[in-house]
Chain A
């Protein structure tokens, strides 16, 4: 079973990377772009076949290592 963990900077945490991307988009002539936030996606291939258990497992991994919950939030989805 495949799980996808999306890790994003928490609201209120400065995201200079997102800001720089936003500036670059404006420089390229793309208009109407509001706030840009940059995070990361981590794909996991799990042996677990039960979706409820797989999701719980991926969430535990995110809390322990994949995200730093001081500065990042995460969400887990299954394929």
Chain B
């Protein structure tokens, strides 16, 4: 699998993402620049990593969503390419219209830098094949604007079409208000595009890929991708 990680001014999680992908695939991802107008030939996965692109000016991800490379990413996604957005990357995907809804200020108004737990809602996707259905895994959140919002009709459609990929839960798997740290609608932590190839999530599974550093709870996501997008 050849992955490309896009850097914007203010991106700061590209290295962790690169390490996670390399660990799972054995292959170094390409680092792409926001001014690029084309993706390298043979790209299987585009990753929009976390950070504070453009200083979060106007709205988180709003400026990045208008940058030159986003046009190429739109085309890539339109051709059925896989695009993963984590944290600020999820905000960009929503701002760019590649995923529905928006990420609002956390309901508590606080920047949240803490552990969270998520339930895997389906395993028949390139991102979740190595998880068990309903598996609870621990990850880290580090964001001020992760409160997922969409109108009721959109939320119903997401639920009806099975496009909610991940939901915030307690450590023992209960979907409660207390587990919903940022106030997201219906405890939504991550959503998929209708073709299941674009995934946006707020927490950072790339933080948990090394047994020596905070465990490997997030590793199955990257191993799933490596398996699903393996090229001969």
Contact = CB atoms under 8 A, between A and B. Distances in A.
Contacts of B109: 16-17, 20
Interface residues of B, number: 20
Nearest to B66: A65
B149 interface: yes
Nearest to A10: B151
B183 A71 contact: no
B102 A71 contact: yes
Interface residues on A, range: 10 to 19
A7 B180 CA distance: 28
B51 to A, nearest CB: 19
Contacts of B100: 70
A16 B105 contact: yes
Contact of B58 (A14, A20, A66, A70): A66
A12 B106 CA distance: 16
A76 B108 CA distance: 31
A60 to B, nearest CB: 14
A65 B102 contact: no
A14 B149 contact: yes
Contacts of A71: 102, 104, 149
Interface of B: 58-59, 62, 66, 94-95, 100-102, 104-109, 147, 149-151, 183
Interface string A46-79: 0000000000000000000110101100000000
B149 A65 contact: no
A70 B59 contact: no
Contacts of B107: 14, 16
A14 to B, nearest CB: 6
7 closest cross-chain pairs (CB), A and B: A70-B102, A71-B102, A16-B109, A16-B105, A20-B109, A68-B102, A16-B107
A13 interface: yes
9 contacts: A13-B104, A14-B104, A16-B107, A17-B109, A65-B66, A66-B58, A70-B100, A70-B101, A71-B104
Contacts of B150: 70
B149 A17 contact: no
